[in-house]
Structure formats: C-alpha cells, structure tokens
Amino acid sequence: MNSDATPTHQPNQLEQLKVCTTVVADTGDFESIRSYAPQDATTNPTLIYKAVQMDAYGSLLEKAAAMAEAEGNHGSQLVESVIDHLLVLFGQEILRIIPGRVSTEVDARLSFDPEATIDKARHIISLYNRQGIERDRVLIKIASTWEGLEAARVLEKEGIHCNLTLLFSLVQAASAARNKATLISPFVGRILDWYVDHTGGTYEADEDPGVQSVTQIFHYLKHHGFPTEVMGASFRNIGQIRALAGCDLLTISPELLEDLKASREPLERQLSIEKAKTDPIPLMEIDEKTFRWHLNADPMATDKLADGIRRFAADTDKLSDLIEKEIID
C-alpha cells in the first residue's frame, strides 16, 4: 500500500443530499445560514420573533422602527409597518448570504382574507424593490387555505412568486398547482406529530405518515407535469430527510443540518420524476366545494392547518407586543 496516496474524500450526508435536492435553511439566524451554505432560506413569524430577541439583531429592529416612523405611521399602524420592514430587512440580509431565494410570510391573521393577503404581498414586494431586490428572489409565504390559494392565483399572474405553507394534504397541493403556485411546503413533522398524538404509535421513516404524504404530493405533481416545486418542511429527524432525498427542495433546521453534516453514511435518492411517472395517480378536479369537502374529510389536515395558523398568529402577536415595548414605550 502506498502510504503517500491521498485519501478519498467521503462526502457527508449534507453534501450527498445537495446532489439531488436543493437544501434550504429554515432559520432566521444569519450565522447558521453561512455555516451550511444553502441555496435558499425561509423564515416565519416564530423564527423572526426568536431572532429579534438576540443581541446580534437588535440593530435591525431599530432600523425597521426608524423606517416605519419616517413614513408617518402611528399606533397600531406603526407596529404593523415595523413588522413589515423587519421581515424585509431580515430577508435582505439573508439574500446577501445565499445565492437563491428567501421566503417571507404574510401575516397569518390574514389567512381567510384574500384581498388583504394580496395587498400585503404586494406591499412586501414593494419594500424589497425599494432595497434593490428583484421579485424573482422573493417567495411570499401564504397559508394554504382556500382564500390563501386564491390569493396566490392572483399574485402569480402578476409575477409575484408564492410559497404555499401550512400544507398537509393532497387537495391543498393539487389546488396550489392548479393555481400555478411557484412552490408548496408540505409539513412532514407536524403530520407525524398528529398521528403519534392520536395513535400512540411509533413510525420508521418508510411508514412515517408525513413522509408518505410528501411522497404522494411529489408523485402527483410530477406525474401530471405541474411545474410547482415541492419543498418538504418541518422535520423531526434526519430519517425523514433521507427518506425524501430527491424532493425538489427540503427546508431544514440548523440542528438537523448539523446532524446531516456529521454523518458520512451513504444517502440515496428516494424520489424522482421517473418513479412519479409510473404512479397512476388520477388528476383531481377541484372547485371551492370539493376543496372544502376533501379538507374537512381529513381530520389531520383540518386540525394542523388551523393549529398552524393559530401558532403563527400568536407569534406575530408576541412580536407586536415586543415592538410596542421596545419601540413605542
């Protein structure tokens, strides 16, 4: 054996995953994003609320407040304007680090108001444009209610790209694809949570109901040739991630990105367009009545959609309270 031979580099699982899937960082922490070099990044009210309490990001809150006050806002309008500017400032900083897109969420409290959702999305895009950021680098996150899906249909026609979030069922995914949404975010971990809570069971990756749901959604969209991208989200363990290798995108927390980075076990592609084409999944004909019926018939999707909206709305309320305390008082 030649002792001078250069050892072969064995890629870690994060490197292997990036070969077949676009990796997205699910965090508002800039240093974590730098560490894992993802293509895209996504934020939500929970992540922004946590990040803004860190000393490193206090300057962004101050800057957002100054920008909102300069517009002449007062009271509740000032708080709302500060949040909008804060979301965009976080997004702007993230876009300095990543080569791809950032997802910025519309207030979850607008989830059943399509007109207000459209207005808020347009406003967020206008704030990005003021910072010199093109709309192609921004995805507007909207909850996958019927109203949110209809808002996305209008926005996509205007060239405002949407990420349909809080997505737990095939009917939501099929509706988003029909409405030409750029991207959907089916939630893996929250689906698993519901089944564990309601059955008391444990699930290996191949039996995981969250993994099965995303696989079904991926197969449906690819089988029927929809261009909407599928981004698995809300992971509880790296087994779920490995089971969805090959999905268009996966948005992953820093903790699980570190777990992937620490492992050098082989990681194989599980999802592909070729496999999807062989899955004889029928095309769904969807209008508002059939959408609401299918969603109502799925207790998990109904529960988790409502719960997700409540949680994001609660964190937006917490962020509002923090701004009132730090800025207005």
- Read off the pLDDT of residues 143-153 as tens digits, 9 standing for 90 and up: 999 999 999 99
- Statement: residue 48 has pLDDT above 90: no
Residue 178 lies in a domain: yes
Pick 196 or 329 by higher pLDDT.
196
Do the domain assignments include residue 47?
A: no
Dihedral-angle region of residue 249 (phi above 0 means left; psi in -120 to 50 means alpha; beta otherwise): beta
- The reply to whether 327 falls in a domain is no
Marked catalytic residue, from 63, 120, 141, 180: 141
> What is the predicted pLDDT for the residue at 168?
98
- Indicate which CATH number applies to the domain containing 138: 3.20.20.70
User: Is residue 3 over pLDDT 70?
Assistant: no
1 belongs to a structural domain = no
Q: What is the mean pLDDT of the segment spanning 54-58?
A: 86
Q: Is 141 a catalytic residue?
A: yes
Domain span including residue 224: 15-36+106-312
Joined together, the tokens standing for residue 135 give 């709309």
Would you say residue 221 lies in a domain? yes
Q: Is residue 83 a part of any domain in this protein?
A: no
pLDDT tens-digit readout, 163-181: 999 999 999 999 999 999 9
User: How many domains does one find in the chain?
Assistant: 1
Mean pLDDT on 43-65: 87
Q: Is residue 215 part of a domain?
A: yes
Q: Which residues of 38-69 are buried (b: 16+ CB within 10 A; e: fewer)?
A: bebbbbbbbbbbbbbeeeebeebbeebbebbe
In a domain, 44, yes or no: no
Is residue 1 over pLDDT 50? no
Most confident of 28-32, 205-209, 239-243, 277-281: 239-243
pLDDT band at residue 45, thresholds of 50, 70 and 90? confident
> pLDDT tier at 7 (50, 70, 90 boundaries)?
low
